[in-house]
Homo-oligomer: A and B are copies of this chain.
Amino acid sequence: MTAAGRGASGVLDRVEAARRRRPKLRDTHITSAHGAGGKATATLVDAVFLEALRNPLLEPLEDAAVFDAGTERLALTTDSFVVTPLFFPGGNIGDLAVNGTVNDLAVAGARPLHLASAVILEEGMDIADLRRIVASMAEAATRAGVSIVTGDTKVVQRGRADGCYITTTGVGLVDPGLRLGASLARPGDVVVVTGPIGDHGITVLLARGELDLSADLRSDTAPLSALTARLLAAVNTPGGDGTRDGGGAPGSGGAPGGGGVRAMRDATRGGVATILNEVAKASGVGVVVDEAAVPVRTEVRGACELLGLDPLYVACEGRMVVIVAPEAVDTALAALRADPLGAQSTVIGRIVDDPPGTVLLNTAFGGTRIVDLLVGDPLPRIC
């Protein structure tokens, strides 16, 4: 599904080089940073999971694995949700778990089909809360046009969980001609975000009530499958070779209607910065972001400044980053903006040749700094 699976050797070399650049796992015990989606997570996943389980489908570490099943092409994705608190403005762990999995399918270019849901409950949990959560799952599934068709329920002793944890897995159908992936970015491509970033992370943080801060904010949790379908229909013709590895020299791009979307990623844990780093490393390219162009709500920016957080690392649950070939940008923006969930879509940066594997930010003050993978875990358990 991406370079490692089927690509030209140049792409494989870049992926291999990126792999070699990853740091060794030196930790002996799990820390919260291993769950933050940043550098420690990447190292753990690489050194423990990928090392033992390595296979061509897992290797690209995309949000969803894409593979042939008989005559069909399927996408499969799974996520555990451990958000605390369970309820927050704009949503709860239930709709978050459904939307998160729907979105991982959507950004893989899949049409979400069915979900599975496994719930780990803490002894003593209020069943009225569980009913509200499951009702939200049902509503979110209906909104996204999917069904939860199978599930599992486990109970652990009081104190061995935190109310409930939900693992949602989704299956979707992918057009056989479609090729998307973080390794397909090429110099000249454009970086789009589909709306203001960081709403979800800051909302959850404030909902914990541990900070003497409040803001009129809601989580942006939402299903992106209609938005991605609309975008791909406008910009990518399945089978158009602009989206295939080796479909052109670097920078050749794809024409509108010919595979102009290179990659889509929902900007969850680790935020936009993490995704751009993954794209830079997987494609062996540089990414330059214009800080002034990044949409951040005043409330989010204010909370981030007070808390010493960079909004680029704060999670969204209904926003995505789209890498688009230059010729397709206008069409892509028009398609995205035609949907309420993408109404504020905007260009925030571009893909460049150098330095490969690196994200650079042109700051509002006229300087330039490197935006690296997240170190540590400033916002634990926001999803």
Which positions in A face B, CB cutoff 8 Å? 25, 27-36, 41, 44-45, 48-49, 52-53, 55, 57-58, 62, 64-65, 67, 69-72, 74, 76-82, 113-114, 116-128, 130-131, 134-135, 137-138, 141, 147-157, 159-162, 165, 167, 169, 171, 173, 377, 380-381
Contact = CB atoms under 8 A, between A and B. Distances in A.
Given A79-B118, A148-B53, A29 B171 contact: no
A76 B149 contact: yes
A48 B131 contact: yes
20 contacts: A30-B125, A35-B156, A45-B151, A48-B131, A52-B135, A53-B137, A53-B148, A55-B149, A57-B147, A58-B150, A58-B151, A67-B149, A70-B173, A71-B72, A76-B114, A76-B169, A80-B118, A82-B156, A160-B162, A169-B169
Contacts of A62: 150
Given A48-B134, A69-B74, A69-B171, 4 more contacts: A49-B151, A55-B147, A70-B173, A155-B380
A134 B65 contact: no
Contact of A153 (B41, B57, B122): B41
Given A69-B171, A72-B71, A113-B69, A152 B79 contact: yes
B34 A78 contact: no
Contacts of A155: 30-36, 377, 380
Given A25-B127, A48-B127, A53-B138, A120 B151 contact: no
B156 A381 contact: yes
A69 B381 CA distance: 34
A181 to B, nearest CB: 14
B29 A78 contact: no
A29 B163 CA distance: 11
Contact of A71 (B44, B70, B114): B70
Given A41-B153, A48-B131, A134-B53, A77 B120 contact: no
Contacts of A127: 25, 27-30, 44, 48
Nearest to A55: B147
Contacts of A32: 123, 155, 157
A53 to B, nearest CB: 5
A161 B141 CA distance: 28
A121 B35 contact: yes
Given A30-B121, A72-B69, A53 B152 contact: no
A78 B116 contact: yes
Contacts of A151: 45, 49, 53, 58, 78
Contact of A64 (B33, B80, B150): B150
A154 B74 CA distance: 25
Give the interface centre of A34, A122, A152 by most chain B CB atoms within 10 Å.
A152
Give the interface centre of A41, A135, A149, A153 by most chain B CB atoms within 10 Å.
A149
Give the interface centre of A33, A159, A165 by most chain B CB atoms within 10 Å.
A165
Contacts of A380: 155, 157
A173 B31 contact: no
Given A118-B80, A127-B30, A155-B32, A134 B52 contact: yes
Give the interface centre of A30, A67, A137, A157 by most chain B CB atoms within 10 Å.
A30
A167 B165 CA distance: 11
Contacts of A119: 80
A229 B48 CA distance: 32
Nearest to A141: B53
A57 B146 CA distance: 12
Given A53-B141, A53-B148, A130 B48 contact: yes
